[in-house]
């Protein structure tokens, strides 16, 4: 088999076989297919697409490029959750402990920030000492004893995705539905959970900008999971404005802690409840009515069980539990700049990707792969879509490191706000469920 023929076949819009896809992935990981040929193949896939069967074969070939994380030693129903990436998305920090407190076993694989979107590992690392580098034995032991543990991708877990993603990132082939589906699902399926709940983000701050594309991605990922013998359900949620009010690593951990203490923002709590409802559906094999799922979530937050799980998880993974008990000890910016509105009206839009990019410019995300994150910086949004604003009102606080240049990031956040004279409704949060 030759890479040239495989590239040509896809370039001409034909379906690749299982053998051809496996050959391309294996040879690229081994280094016998060079970057330029893989880049050409990825561009051909970007332009001509892949059907569900091809995408499954690609996912499977990528999954098998490295280690599989065995979870047989865990007693109970094992579940993972994945977000396709958003701004202010600290949902996993709340949902993991909530599901564990509800009796599920959460063996979670998390990632770092990608582009303008944040990553769970970067957020958790703002807690002094916290590490996602657990051995497989510790991972299984922690899930058994605490109910939740979080690991990060290692060089031996789906190395094909690491290598392919690095090429996609520099060849404008990231935003392809089959390539995203295969990238996400190859990593998720390498950890052998029984079930997976997906949060597919839709809107200006998401990789999928339209509901149609998000539905296609969700359907593809659900089908891939089912073909691999897993139970999968996807919630499509709105990312046309940031989730909650905090953006930035330590700020998001603080907001997650407030939520676990029963004082979280309404949109974050609603999303946690919607995802918990799907996880309960998969574990109990029946659709739990929305109000019953919500009551169960409210109960484990009100009685402190979910918060206690979070503290135990942080401690078990080397983090300082005092920072969770006393979140004011988390890294905190030494300077806060208020951004005010020049006019009166209603918040019509908050350009969500712009907010993510502005946060990155302050140091909350990586502009290059070697950038060092400052956990303390970010935004606190005082106004969200639908809110009334008077001229001079504070729209947001900008938490900065005064030793950096912060003007451009601050201005970018201000420019992300659109104030309109007409009445604006708050945005709907849950857009669809695919299961
Ligand atoms: N997240 C991933 O892990 N992979 C993608 O391709 C996009 C988002």
The pLDDT of residue 64: 98
Same domain, 23 and 90: no
pLDDT category at 366 given cuts 50, 70, 90 is confident
Residue 57 belongs to some domain of the structure: no
pLDDT category at 114 given cuts 50, 70, 90 is confident
Indicate if ligand 1 lies below 6 Å from the C-beta of 183.
Answer: yes
Among 324, 333, 329, which Cα is nearest to 378's? 333
Residue 152 Cα, ligand 1 centroid: separation in angstroms? 14
Domain final residue, candidates 325, 348, 381: 325
Same domain, 296 and 337: no
Same domain, 345 and 320: no
Same domain, 109 and 228: yes
Residue 216 belongs to some domain of the structure: yes
Same domain, 30 and 82: no
Residue 63 belongs to some domain of the structure: no
- Mean pLDDT score, 6-15: 98
Domain final residue, candidates 274, 291, 325: 325
Same domain, 305 and 352: no
Find out whether 258 and 264 touch, Cβ atoms under 8 Å: yes
CATH number of the domain enclosing 9 = 1.20.970.10
pLDDT category at 378 given cuts 50, 70, 90 is very high
Find out whether 158 and 62 touch, Cβ atoms under 8 Å: yes
Lowest mean pLDDT among 111-115, 275-279, 303-307, 350-354: 111-115
The residue range of the domain holding 41 is 3-49
- Whole-number Å distance between alpha carbons of 100 and 312: 11
Q: Model confidence over 69-106: pLDDT tens digits?
A: 999 999 999 999 999 999 999 999 999 999 999 999 99
Residue 195 Cα, ligand 1 centroid: separation in angstroms? 19
The pLDDT of residue 370: 79
Q: How many domains does the chain have?
A: 3
Q: Is the pLDDT of residue 351 over 80?
A: yes
Same domain, 124 and 220: yes
Residue 72 belongs to some domain of the structure: no
Q: Is the pLDDT of residue 385 over 80?
A: yes
CATH number of the domain enclosing 106 = 3.40.1030.10
Residue 337 Cα, ligand 1 centroid: separation in angstroms? 33
Indicate if ligand 1 lies below 6 Å from the C-beta of 274.
Answer: no
Residue 215 belongs to some domain of the structure: yes
The pLDDT of residue 49: 97
Same domain, 98 and 142: yes
Instruction: Report the chain's terminal Cα–Cα distance, integer Å.
Output: 38
Residue 137 belongs to some domain of the structure: yes
Same domain, 167 and 241: yes
pLDDT mean across residues, the chain? 96
pLDDT category at 211 given cuts 50, 70, 90 is very high
Q: Model confidence over 242-256: pLDDT tens digits?
A: 999 999 999 999 999
Q: Would you please indicate which residues are annotated as catalytic (active-site) residues?
A: 82, 161, 168, 183, 187
Instruction: Check residue 321 and give left, alpha or beta (phi > 0: left; psi -120 to 50: alpha).
Output: alpha
Same domain, 42 and 116: no
| Rounded alpha-carbon distances, angstroms, from residue 227 to 109, 185, 339 | 20, 11, 49
The pLDDT of residue 368: 78
Indicate if ligand 1 lies below 6 Å from the C-beta of 180.
Answer: yes
Same domain, 128 and 204: yes
Q: Rounded to two decimals, what is the model's pTM?
A: 0.95
CATH number of the domain enclosing 387 = 3.90.1170.30
Same domain, 181 and 256: yes
Is the torsion defined by CA of 417, 422, 427, 431 positive or negative? negative
Residue 33 belongs to some domain of the structure: yes
């Amino acid at each position: 088999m030759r890479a040239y023929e495989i590239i040509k076949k896809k370039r001409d819009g034909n379906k690749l076989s299982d053998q051809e896809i496996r050959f391309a992935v294996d040879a690229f990981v081994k280094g016998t297919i060079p970057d330029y040929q893989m880049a050409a193949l990825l561009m051909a896939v970007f332009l001509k697409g892949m059907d569900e069967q091809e995408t499954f074969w690609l996912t499977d070939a990528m999954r098998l490029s490295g280690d599989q994380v065995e979870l047989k030693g865990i007693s109970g129903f094992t579940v993972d959750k994945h977000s396709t990436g958003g701004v202010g998305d600290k949902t996993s920090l709340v949902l993991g402990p909530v599901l564990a407190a509800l009796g599920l076993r959460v063996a979670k694989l998390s990632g770092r920030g990608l582009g303008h979107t944040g990553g769970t590992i970067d957020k958790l690392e703002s807690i002094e000492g916290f590490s996602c580098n657990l051995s497989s034995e510790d991972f299984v032991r922690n899930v058994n004893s605490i109910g939740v543990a979080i690991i990060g991708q290692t060089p031996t877990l789906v190395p094909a995705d690491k290598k392919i993603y690095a090429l996609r990132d520099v060849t404008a082939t990231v935003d392809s539905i089959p390539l995203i589906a295969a990238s996400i699902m190859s990593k998720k399926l390498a950890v052998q959970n029984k079930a997976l709940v997906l949060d597919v983000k839709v809107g200006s701050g998401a990789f999928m900008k339209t509901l149609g594309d998000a539905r296609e991605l969700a359907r593809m990922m659900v089908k891939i999971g089912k073909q691999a013998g897993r139970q999968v359900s996807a919630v499509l949620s709105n990312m046309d404005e940031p989730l909650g009010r905090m953006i930035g690593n330590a700020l998001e951990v603080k907001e997650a802690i407030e939520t676990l203490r029963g004082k979280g923002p309404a949109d974050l709590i609603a999303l946690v409840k919607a995802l918990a409802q799907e996880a309960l559906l998969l574990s109990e094999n029946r659709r739990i009515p929305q109000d019953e799922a919500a009551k169960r979530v409210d109960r484990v937050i009100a009685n402190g069980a979910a918060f206690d799980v979070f503290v135990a998880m942080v401690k078990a993974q080397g983090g300082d539990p005092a920072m969770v008990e006393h979140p004011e000890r988390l890294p905190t910016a030494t300077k806060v700049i208020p951004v005010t509105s020049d006019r009166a009206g209603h918040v019509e839009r908050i350009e969500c990707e712009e907010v993510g990019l502005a946060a990155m410019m302050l140091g909350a995300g990586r502009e290059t792969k070697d950038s060092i994150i400052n956990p303390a910086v970010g935004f606190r949004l005082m106004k969200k879509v639908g809110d009334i604003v008077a001229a001079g009102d504070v729209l947001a606080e900008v938490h900065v490191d005064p030793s950096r240049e912060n003007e451009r990031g601050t201005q970018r956040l201000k420019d992300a706000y659109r104030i309109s004279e007409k009445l604006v409704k708050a945005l709907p949060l849950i857009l669809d469920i695919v299961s």
